[in-house]
Amino acid sequence: MKTIYKVPSAITSRDTTYCPGCTHGVAHRIVAELLDEMGLTKKTVIVWPVGCSVFGYYFIWTDALIAAHGRACAMATGIKRVHPESFVMTYQGDGDLASIGIAETVHAAARGENITTVFINNGNYGMTGGQMSPTTLIGQVTTTSPYGRKPELNGFPLHVPEMLATMDGPAYIARGALDNPQHINQAKKFIQKAFTAQQKRLGYSLVELVSTCPTNWKMTPVESIERVKREVLPIFPLGEFRAVKGVE
């Protein structure tokens, strides 16, 4: 009999703490598949963030740390510099990475740290109850932008991959989405390239994953997926923004 489906060894048996329709589970799954497929699970340290995925270590079985809010790339830098043979990954949301941790992210990228970041962008602070984040769309209603995000008051959404792609330090920068099987396969390919960049010591790698937050968006899972396609992807287009020679 041919196995066509199995749980990656890097996925634990625990039920996730994520809401129905949240794409963290899909992101975890493709990360875990790649850790297995690329033989990385036993040499990996994941630096988890503050946010909904603070519990990520419940679900992906590797050595694990939880950074202070926004500090994951600094912590990962500390590990990688003294232990270059470890595979070091941060998993961060948009509040964590793009707001409070933007300095640590930009400078890790500028230094070309050999670490990989999986960046979950769901356009709000999920765990704290759906406040506005740097990637909240113009007009989007959140608990701290009750009249919708207004440029004159809150500025504009931050495009992290586009910004990092202007720098010389990063080896690989891409944005994927998790709203349909085709996009999920593409996102997995992007993360595989990001992991390869680290394995080959080519520099910093980051993959943004456009994600859903049905609970705080006050939508059903299906409506959330439709919103990603209709409203989010036109603002946050998918693709590879930087790939140095050797990334494949």
Partner 1 sequence: MGEKLLMKGSEAIAEAAIRAGAMAFFGYPITPQNETPEYFSRRMPELGRVFLQAESEVAAINMVYGAACTGTRAITTSSSPGISLMQEGFSYIANTNVPCVVVNAMRGGPGLGDIAPAQADYFQATKGGGHGDYHSIVIAPHTVQEEADLMFDAFELADKYRIMVVVLVDGLLGQMMEPVEFKDWVDVKKFKTPEWATVGQGDRAQRNILISFDILAEGLEKMNLVLQNKYAKIRENEVRFEEYKMDDADYAITAFGTVARIAKTTIELARNEGIKVGLIRPITLYPFPEKVIENRASNVKFFFDTEMNEGQMLEDVKLAVNGKKPVYFHGRLGGIVPTAEEILDEFKKHLGG
Instruction: Name the residues that contact partner 1, by CB under 8 A.
Output: 41-45, 47, 54-55, 57, 61-68, 71, 74-83, 85-87, 103-104, 107
Rank residues 102 and 233 by Cβ distance to partner 1 and give the closer one: 102
103 torsion bin: left (phi>0), alpha (psi -120 to 50), beta (else) = alpha
C-alpha 114/C-alpha 77 separation (Å) is 8
- What is the smallest separation between the CB atom of 246 and partner 1, expressed in angstroms? 23
Rank residues 35 and 177 by Cβ distance to partner 1 and give the closer one: 35
Rank residues 50 and 178 by Cβ distance to partner 1 and give the closer one: 50
Question: Residue 206 in contact with residue 116, Cβ under 8 Å?
Answer: yes
Rank residues 12 and 154 by Cβ distance to partner 1 and give the closer one: 12
- What is the smallest separation between the CB atom of 93 and partner 1, expressed in angstroms? 16
Rank residues 10 and 165 by Cβ distance to partner 1 and give the closer one: 10
- What is the smallest separation between the CB atom of 199 and partner 1, expressed in angstroms? 13
- What is the smallest separation between the CB atom of 136 and partner 1, expressed in angstroms? 24
Rank residues 36 and 63 by Cβ distance to partner 1 and give the closer one: 63
- What is the smallest separation between the CB atom of 117 and partner 1, expressed in angstroms? 14
C-alpha 109/C-alpha 83 separation (Å) is 18
Q: Given the structure tokens 């409506």, which residue do they identify?
A: 223
- Strand pairing class (44-48; 87-93): parallel
- b or e along 173-191 (b: 16 or more beta carbons within 10 Å of the residue's beta carbon)? bbbbbbbeeebbebbbbbb
Rank residues 43 and 229 by Cβ distance to partner 1 and give the closer one: 43
- What is the smallest separation between the CB atom of 15 and partner 1, expressed in angstroms? 15
State the alpha helices, DSSP H only, in 53-127. Answer: 56-59, 72-82, 94, 102-111
- Please compute Rg for the chain using Cα positions: 17
- What is the smallest separation between the CB atom of 79 and partner 1, expressed in angstroms? 4
C-alpha 110/C-alpha 170 separation (Å) is 7
132 three-class SS:
strand
